[in-house]
Amino acid sequence: MRIKALKRALPDAGFDAYLVTSVTSVYYFTGFLDIRDAPITLIVPVDQDPILYVSELSSVAARDEAKNCTVKLVKLGEQFPDKILKELTMLNVKRVGFEALLTHAFLKFTKALKKVSFEHNADLVWKFRKIKSDTEVAYIRRAAAMADVGVKTAREVLKPGIRECEVVAEAEYAMRSLGSEAFAFDTIVVSGSRSALPHGFCSTKKIQLGDLVIIDLGAVYRGYRSDTTRTIVVGKPSLRQSRIFNLVLTAQERAFKAIKAGVKAWQVDANARGIIKRGGYGKYFIHGLGHGVGLDIHEPPKLAPKSRDVLSKGNVITNEPGVYIPEFGGVRIEDTVLVHENRAERLTRSPHDLVKD
Amino acid sequence: MRIKALKRALPDAGFDAYLVTSVTSVYYFTGFLDIRDAPITLIVPVDQDPILYVSELSSVAARDEAKNCTVKLVKLGEQFPDKILKELTMLNVKRVGFEALLTHAFLKFTKALKKVSFEHNADLVWKFRKIKSDTEVAYIRRAAAMADVGVKTAREVLKPGIRECEVVAEAEYAMRSLGSEAFAFDTIVVSGSRSALPHGFCSTKKIQLGDLVIIDLGAVYRGYRSDTTRTIVVGKPSLRQSRIFNLVLTAQERAFKAIKAGVKAWQVDANARGIIKRGGYGKYFIHGLGHGVGLDIHEPPKLAPKSRDVLSKGNVITNEPGVYIPEFGGVRIEDTVLVHENRAERLTRSPHDLVKD
C-alpha cells in the first residue's frame, strides 16, 4: 500500500510526519483526485493514521474515494493553514517533511510551532511516483492511444486554409469522444514561423501550403497523462525543412536506443544533442530532451544537460528533441516512452512522417 | 503603464524591489504570456529598469512580446533561483516583496542574502489586477460569448444515451472553432447523482431521461477567461428538481441585484445563502457564492462567508449558488458578472432554463 510505504520511509528521512499538498500526490496515495489547484493536505504521521483535509466542496467525493485515511473538512469560512496547524499541534510531531508549501503557509507554521522543524523534501514522494506500476502504465498506455488518435485526426484535417484552432478543435474532439477526461496540457498547434515557438498557443492563423506545422497534444485517463508531438508539412517540404526534420528524427531515434534502466538522463540528452550539434543546429535545440510524465505533465526524471537523474525500470518519460529557427520555423518529434530493464518502449505510436501522405 | 504603477506603489508597501513570479501576472505587467507553470520571474526594482528572467525555451517569444523590461535568459542547465539570487545581489536591494514563492526558493534567498528581508505581499499585484480595464473587459466579454456558444451547443446535443464526455467534446469543439485559445478550466459535465459533485470530471456515463445535468465551462481569449454553469434536465423535471432549481435561480437573481461597487462581498454571499437557507437547503450550499475571474480562473475578490473583500467598479466575478444533495444530484447556476458603479452586468448570457426546450 502506497501510503504505508511512505510512512515506512519517514524515519530514514528524519521525519515523524509528512505533508502531501499537491492534488496529484494526494490522488497517488489515497485514490481521491480533487480539481487542479484545489487546497488539500494529507498529513501522514509516522505512528498514527493519515488524515486528509479537503474543503467542504470536495467532501462527498473525498469521503467516497479516499482510502486509508480519515477525511476531515475545512468548512466554508475556515482557513486551510489554521486547520493544519491545529492538527499538527495535536499530533505533537517535531520533524515535519513537506512536498511543496507556499512561503506564507511555511512562515505561519514555523512561527506558531517554534519547536517543530519543517523541511522541504519532495524526493520522498517522487521516489515512489516516478516508478510506475503495471496499472499506472496501463492507464498511460490508454491515454497514449487516445493521443495517437488525436494526432491521426489532426493529420487528416490538415490542409491549406484551415486555421490552427480548427485543427486543435478536431484533435481534441476525437480524444474527448474516446473518453479523455481532460487534456494533458493546453493543446499546441503552431504553423509557419509560429512553429519556431516551442510552446506557442494555437491561433486563428490559417495554415499555408509549405508551412511546418507542430502538433503537440496529450490525453488523460484516470488522471494519467500522455504527451506526443508530430511535425508535418502541408504540401511538399523544402530541402531545408526535410534536412532539419531528418536530423531531429535521427536524434530522437538515437536517444530512444539509449534509453534503458541504469542510464544517466544527461547522457541520453547528450546522445540526441550531439547529433543535432554535428548537424549544425545545436544552438537551436533550446530545451531538455524530455521529462517524466504521469499524473503531472512535467515530472521527474528530467532528461537535460546537467540532470542528476538516472533512469529506472518503470519510468515513463518523453523523448522530444526539437530545433527552432526564428523566422523560419521549428521541428519537434516527441513520444511518451516506457523505460524497461534493457530497452525502451514507445507508448505513443503514430507515424513520424513529415509529409501528409 | 502597469509596470510603472507597480513601481510607484513599492515605497508605500515598504519595498525597494518586487518579484512577480506567476505567469499570468508577468503577462499582466509585460504583455508576454508563457505557458502554465513555466518558471518565470519579473524583478521590479524601485529605481532601475525591470528585468524579466525566462527560460531559454521561451526566449524568442519573450523578446518579441515583453514590453518595458529587459529580457534575460536562464539557459539550459542553469538554475532559476541561482540567477535571480545573483541579480538581486547585483541590484543591492534590501527589502524585497514577492507575490508567491515556493518555500525552497524562499529559503535559498534568505540564506544567501542574510541582510535582505523578503516579504509575501500578493495584494500589491491584486490591487491592480482585480480592477479590469475596458480592454480587459472586452476580452472577457469575448471569452464569455464563446462560453455561451459552448453552453448552447451542449444544450442542443443533450439527449438520453449521450455520454458526458461526448457533450464535453461538442461544447469544446464549438468554443475552439470560435478561436478559444484554451479552456478556462477542465470542462465539467456531470449527470444524475454525479451532479452532486461540485467539481466532478466528465465520465463515459450515459445521460438518462430525468437526469440533472450540470454543464460548467469557460473559454479563453487573449489569456482572459470566462466561467458559466447551467443545470439542465433531460426530459420532464421532477417536482423536487424544479423546486431546488427555482430556489437556486432565485438566490442567483437576488445576489445579482445586490452586486455593485462598494458592497461587501460576504453580504452578497449572504443574500444568496439566506434564500437557500430559508428554502431548507442551506447545508447543501457547500461553497462560496463566487470568485474573481480574469487571467486566472480563481482570483480575488472572493464572495464567501467571512470574506473581507469589498466589490469595486471593474471587478469581474462569478455569481454561482449551488445545492448538492448526495445520491439525489445537484443544481448550480453561474454567470460571469461585471461590477459597475451602481449595478451589475451579466457577461455570460445564455438562458438559465432548466428544461431543454
Considering its fold, how many domains does chain A have in total?
A: 2
State whether the Cα torsion B207-B213-B216-B217 is positive or negative: positive
Beta strands in B48-120 (DSSP E): 51-55, 70-74, 95-98, 117-120
Residue A6 and residue A68 in contact, taking contact as beta carbons nearer than 8 Å:
no
Q: pLDDT tens, B8-53?
A: 999 999 999 999 999 999 999 999 999 988 999 999 999 999 999 9
Question: Is the CB of B101 less than 8 angstroms away from the CB of A100?
Answer: no
Domain end among B100, B129, B158: B129
| Residues B242 and B287 occupy one common structural domain | yes
Give the pLDDT mean for A26-51: 95
Give the pLDDT mean for B156-178: 96
ipTM given for this complex: 0.94
Cβ neighbours of B107 in A, within 8 Å: 120
Classified as helix, coil or strand, B113 is: coil
Question: Is the CB of B185 less than 8 angstroms away from the CB of A120?
Answer: no
| Residues B201 and B316 occupy one common structural domain | yes
| Residues B207 and B279 occupy one common structural domain | yes
CA–CA gap between residue B73 and residue A346 (Å, rounded): 33
State the pLDDT at residue B204: 92
Residue A120 and residue B104 in contact, taking contact as beta carbons nearer than 8 Å:
yes
Q: Which of A22, A44, A43 is nearest to A34 (CA)?
A: A22
The DSSP output letter for B21 is -
CA–CA gap between residue B130 and residue B301 (Å, rounded): 7
Mean predicted lDDT score pLDDT of chain A: 96
State the pLDDT at residue B343: 98
Give the pLDDT mean for A224-248: 97
In a domain, B357, yes or no: no
Adjacent-strand bridge partners of B49: none
CA–CA gap between residue A68 and residue B174 (Å, rounded): 42
State the pLDDT at residue A37: 84
Question: Is the CB of B173 less than 8 angstroms away from the CB of A168?
Answer: no
Mutate to test the interface with B, among A203, A286, A302, A324 (most CBs of B within 10 A): A286
Give every CB contact of residue A166 below 8 A, 6+ residues apart in sequence. A157, B176, B177
Which helix (H) or strand (E) element contains residue A317?
Answer: strand A316-319
State the pLDDT at residue B102: 87
pLDDT tier, B198 (very low <50, low <70, confident <90, very high otherwise): confident
Q: Which of B9, B128, B70, B61 is nearest to A287 (CA)?
A: B61
Give the pLDDT mean for B110-115: 95
The amino acid that residue A292 corresponds to is G
In a domain, A352, yes or no: no
Asked if pLDDT for residue A115 goes beyond 80, the answer is: yes
> The domain spanning residue A269 has which CATH number?
3.90.230.10
Q: Considering CB atoms only, which of B76, B100, B183 is closest to A304?
A: B76
What domain range is B216 assigned to? 134-346
CA–CA gap between residue A310 and residue A302 (Å, rounded): 9
State the pLDDT at residue A36: 86
In a domain, B354, yes or no: no
State the pLDDT at residue B201: 82
Q: Which of B183, B132, B180 is nearest to B299 (CA)?
A: B132
Question: Is the CB of B172 less than 8 angstroms away from the CB of A176?
Answer: yes
In a domain, B122, yes or no: yes
Question: Is the CB of B103 less than 8 angstroms away from the CB of A98?
Answer: yes
| Residues B85 and B173 occupy one common structural domain | no
| Residues A106 and A215 occupy one common structural domain | no
CA–CA gap between residue B269 and residue B259 (Å, rounded): 10
CA distances from B162 to B199, B203, B208 (A): 20, 11, 8
| Residues A141 and A218 occupy one common structural domain | yes
Asked if pLDDT for residue A357 goes beyond 80, the answer is: no
Mutate to test the interface with B, among A104, A118, A332 (most CBs of B within 10 A): A104
Q: pLDDT tens, A257-287?
A: 999 999 999 999 999 999 999 999 999 999 9
State the pLDDT at residue B154: 98
Classified as helix, coil or strand, B292 is: strand
Asked if pLDDT for residue B357 goes beyond 80, the answer is: no
pLDDT tier, A198 (very low <50, low <70, confident <90, very high otherwise): confident
pLDDT tier, A44 (very low <50, low <70, confident <90, very high otherwise): very high
State the pLDDT at residue B199: 78
Long-range contacts of B346-351 (CB under 8 A, 24+ apart): B346/B256, B347/B140, B347/B141, B347/B144, B347/B226, B347/B316, B348/B144, B348/B147, B348/B148, B348/B151, B348/B226, B348/B227, B348/B228, B349/B144, B349/B145, B349/B148, B350/B147, B350/B148, B350/B151, B350/B152, B350/B155, B350/B228, B350/B230
Quote the percentage of chain B above a pLDDT of 70: 100
Which cell goes with A314?
Answer: 518503470
Domain end among A74, A97, A129: A129
> The domain spanning residue A14 has which CATH number?
3.40.350.10
Global pTM value: 0.95
Mutate to test the interface with A, among B22, B60, B120 (most CBs of A within 10 A): B60
pLDDT tier, A126 (very low <50, low <70, confident <90, very high otherwise): very high
Asked if pLDDT for residue B157 goes beyond 80, the answer is: yes
Residue of chain B minimizing CA distance to A186: B182
Bigger pLDDT: B130 vs B36: B130
Cβ neighbours of A200 in B, within 8 Å: 61
State the pLDDT at residue B37: 84
Question: Is the CB of A181 less than 8 angstroms away from the CB of B203?
Answer: yes
pLDDT tier, A29 (very low <50, low <70, confident <90, very high otherwise): very high
CA–CA gap between residue B28 and residue B20 (Å, rounded): 10
State whether the Cα torsion A336-A340-A344-A347 is positive or negative: negative
Residue A150 and residue A171 in contact, taking contact as beta carbons nearer than 8 Å:
yes
Which helix (H) or strand (E) element contains residue A55?
Answer: strand A51-55
Quote the percentage of chain B above a pLDDT of 90: 94
Domain end among A89, A105, A129: A129
State the pLDDT at residue B36: 86
Buried b (16+ CB within 10 A) or exposed e, B94-120: ebbbbbbbbbbbbbbbeeebeebebeb
In a domain, B351, yes or no: no
Beta strands in chain B (DSSP E): 17-20, 40-45, 51-55, 70-74, 95-98, 117-120, 188-191, 212-217, 220-221, 224-225, 228-233, 290-292, 299-303, 316-319, 322-325, 329-332, 335-339, 344-346
| Residues B166 and B312 occupy one common structural domain | yes
| Residues A64 and A171 occupy one common structural domain | no
State the pLDDT at residue A225: 98
In a domain, A357, yes or no: no
| Residues B123 and B30 occupy one common structural domain | yes
Q: pLDDT tens, A295-320?
A: 999 999 999 999 999 999 999 999 99
For B326, what's the count of Cα atoms within 13 Å in the CB-facing half-sphere? 10
Q: pLDDT tens, B113-125?
A: 999 999 999 999 9
pLDDT tier, A338 (very low <50, low <70, confident <90, very high otherwise): very high
Asked if pLDDT for residue A1 goes beyond 90, the answer is: no
Q: Which of A329, A175, A152, A299 is nearest to A238 (CA)?
A: A329
pLDDT tier, A155 (very low <50, low <70, confident <90, very high otherwise): very high
Asked if pLDDT for residue A199 goes beyond 90, the answer is: no
Q: Minimum mean pLDDT among A169-173, B139-143, B177-181: which range?
A: B177-181
| Residues A93 and A80 occupy one common structural domain | yes
Adjacent-strand bridge partners of A232: A213
Question: Is the CB of B176 less than 8 angstroms away from the CB of A199?
Answer: no
Q: Indicate the Cα dihedral angle A336, A338, A344, A350, nearest 10°.
A: -30
In a domain, B355, yes or no: no
The DSSP output letter for B264 is B
In a domain, B352, yes or no: no
| Residues B103 and B175 occupy one common structural domain | no
pLDDT tier, B208 (very low <50, low <70, confident <90, very high otherwise): very high
| Residues A229 and A187 occupy one common structural domain | yes
Asked if pLDDT for residue A107 goes beyond 80, the answer is: yes
CA–CA gap between residue A245 and residue A330 (Å, rounded): 9
